[in-house]
Chain A
Amino acid sequence: MLSMKHVSKIFQTDLIETHALRDFNLEVATGEFVAVTGPSGSGKTTFLNIAGLLDPFESGEYLLDGVDVSHLSDDAASALRNEKIGFIFQSFNLIPDLNLFDNVDVPLRYRGFNAAERKRRIERALETVGLSGRVKHLPSQLSGGQQQRVAIARALAGEPKILLADEPTGNLDSLMARQVLELLESLNEAGATIIMVTHDADLARRARRNVHVLDGRVDDYTLYDTLDQARGQNSGLTIP
């Protein structure tokens, strides 16, 4: 599903050159639930941004679902991001002026689906996260956990190949964090490929595999169970 080989990323200012990733190598198979951990500044968010085609990289090779993304135009990268990747952010990143329906609708608009298809997908995604009765609510009318579930619904609505989560429970209390994590686990059990960046060791242990990043390199792999990593080969996520 995701293959990075010898990827490097350098942040450069007039005075300082910072190697955020150096010779970064990682393979993630379809259906895996990978937690990426590491101390602050280790490069885990940089990895996630590159994996999500949000940031370019200087050298190396990156294949996403078999597509070499090294030299994609903005249009092509945006289309690929829209089709194959679902993002879940720490701060939810919901648009405050739009109700839940319209928030989940955002990526679908860029896909060019017709109104009926969008409606079907939105309702299904909101039902999956347990918010189907609140489509007309604004994000400000929801709790933090509910907002994160809307963000997950938005990520799921496009039926992407892979979910990228950046500290998805970082802004939640423990009860809501557990609910969100259980939701991610159920999605993974249903075949979703998930890469979750976290600095929370307990949270990381809930993933199938833990990748530890240090100084821009993969430092350590830990496999927590022997689940078949090849569930749902090359298929898009289906909402359970």
Chain B
Amino acid sequence: MMAYHLKLAWLSFRKTPVMSSLIIGAIGLGIGVCISLLTVYVLMIKDPAPGFSDRLFTYKLDNQAVETAETSTAMKHPLVGYRDAMNIIKSDIPVNQSLHYQTAAVIYPANTNQSPVTERLRLANAGFFAVHRVPFLYGSPWTDADEMSDPYQTVLTRALNETLFAGENSVGQSLKIGPNHYKIIGVMDDFKPMPLYLETDGGAFNEITGALIPFSLTPVLEMRKNGGSTRCRSDPAEDTFAAFLETDCYWIHHWVELASADDVARFTQYLDDYGLQQRQFGRFMGNAMHEVHGVLSWLEDRQVVNQDYRILLSVAFLFLLVCLLNCIGLLLAKFLGKSSEISLRRAVGGSRKMIFRQYMVEVTLIGFLGGCVGLLVAASGLVGIRALYRNYEQLTHLTLELSGIAILLAIVSTIIAGLFPVWQVCRLPVSQHLKSQ
């Protein structure tokens, strides 16, 4: 009977192509708009460190320079200063700790035929690779010992290795970054946490590109942060990099890996104790309301998905609702146009249930076709979003899962929209329409 109903649905589509296309188009438009925005949203809110995000934490210090009645979360800077980072990293509570910041440098390819390129450069400690589970294509990261004894080592991102070495294993080769030569000890495999939780200030949907060198070179190279946020409570005493490091400027990302809830509590206490100690030195005059955030709570705090986007998504679903309300009217008009056929079917033995099933199959087919059109609209929408927002590149790929959701959403919403029209035509007075054909 299902095949029969599908055949009738197809005939019905052929009989009223304009009306059917309008309905399918309306559903497709509503679904397309929703799915394109939902695609971005789902990628925005997904866990960027699946399997270990519950072990990663960062913090906001209550480091007000003056006493305040209360300290709001907005008053606390999300990054940490060099002096505090160097102190807090001494804690033995975390399993691993990651310090890093981003700058830029000119990189001179080993092949002299290639022009030098300006690339992102990250200064990161050895713990960076362990904390964020960075995968390696070739070689391995540096160790804490390397950072101290032989810091002129570098790890390339896969993309940079493609650019400079055509993807070949470059481990062991030398690379000039800025004025110094570095030994390549590793090449990262694809590492694209999305959102980029470990570094939200430079754009939470950017990729990590370029090269990485040890964090211990920070005071040596005197490389300031390039991109992202740096905020200072006061001007440095002197115009030197050493003075900048001693000033209360906040620019470094500090993530810790904590093994248990107890360790989280201990680390929080450690920050409290550190804050009290600093208060005695005339710093941290706030209320010692330090915050420790997990990955997801950090993304929430940093408003990676801002309220405007949520409102936009709600508006998209309201738009779908409007489309479906239109569909109710169109479906009713389409089905009422078949009153005589429905009455005839009832007269020759079709029960209300049978007629209901037949038309719900037609509605389901319309929903399916609407979903297919919706996918095309969504794909076009995502191309548009990509063109408008370059840093959303990673977020604008329609996944198979979301494509399935689009079809399912289209079918379910069309079925819901179709219930009223189908119910109405099932209740038509049979004899009246038989006579009036």
Do B340 and A74 have beta carbons less than 8 Å apart? no
Interface membership of A210, Cβ < 8 A: no
Closest to B435 in A: A45
Q: How far is the CA of A128 from the CA of B1 in the complex (A)?
A: 27
Interchain CB contact under 8 A, B344 and A93: yes
Any B CB within 8 A of the CB of A91: yes
B11 proximal to A (CB < 8 A): yes
- Partner-contacting stretch, out of A27-35, A107-115, A129-137, A188-196: A107-115
Q: Say yes or no for A98: interface residue by CB 8 A criterion.
A: yes
Q: Is there contact, CB below 8 Å, between B437 and A82? A: no
Whether A95 is near chain B, meaning CB under 8 Å from some CB there, is yes
Q: How many angstroms between the C-alpha atoms of A89 and B352 in the bound complex?
A: 21
Nearest to B430 among chain A residues (CB) is: A54
B349 touches A111 (CB 8 A): yes
A107 pairs with B348, CB closer than 8 A: yes
Known A-B contacts A93-B344, A95-B344; the reply to A110 vs B349 at CB < 8 A is yes
A62 within 8 A of partner (CB):
no
B354 within 8 A of A: yes
Closest partner residue, chain B, to A78 (CB atom): B351
A93-B340, A95-B341 known; A52 vs B347 contact (CB < 8 Å) = yes
Residues in B neighbouring A79, C-beta threshold 8 A: 349, 351
- Least CB distance, B159 to chain A, in whole angstroms: 58
Q: Is B431 an interface residue (CB 8 A)?
A: yes
What is the minimal beta-carbon distance from B88 to any residue of chain A, in angstroms?
75
B residues near A101, Cβ cutoff 8 Å:
none
Bound Cα distance from A166 to B352, whole angstroms: 23
In the complex, per-residue mask of A38-54: 1 if CB is within 8 Å of any chain B CB, else 0:
00000001000100101
If over half of A's interface residues share one DSSP class (helix, strand or loop), that class is named, otherwise mixed; here it is: helix
Determine whether A106 belongs to the interface, using a CB cutoff of 8 Å to chain B: yes
Q: Report A16-31 CB contacts with B as 1/0, cut-off 8 Å.
A: 0000000000000000
Contact A82 B431 (CB under 8 A): no
A55 contacts partner chain B, Cβ-Cβ < 8 Å: yes
Is A75 interfacial (CB 8 A cutoff)? yes
- Give the distance in Å from the alpha carbon of A79 to the alpha carbon of B350 in the complex: 8
B348 → chain A closest CB, angstroms: 4
Using Cβ atoms and an 8 Å threshold, which residues of chain A touch B4? Answer: 109
Q: How far is the CA of A54 from the CA of B435 in the complex (A)?
A: 12
A75-B353 contact in complex given A82-B348, A110-B348, C-beta closer than 8 Å:
yes
Interface string of B47-58 (1 = CB under 8 A from A): 000000000000
A164's closest neighbor in chain B, by CB? Answer: B347
Interface contacts beyond A55-B429, A93-B344: sample of 11 additional A-B pairs, CB < 8 Å, sorted by A: A49-B431, A54-B430, A55-B430, A75-B353, A78-B351, A78-B352, A78-B354, A81-B349, A106-B348, A106-B350, A107-B349
Which residues in A have some Cβ–Cβ distance to B below 8 Å? 45, 49, 52, 54-55, 74-75, 77-79, 81-83, 87, 89-91, 93, 95, 97-98, 106-107, 109-111, 154, 158, 166
Would you list 12 pairs from A and B whose C-beta atoms are within 8 A, ordered by A residue?
A78-B346, A78-B351, A79-B351, A87-B348, A93-B344, A95-B341, A95-B344, A106-B344, A106-B350, A110-B351, A154-B348, A166-B435
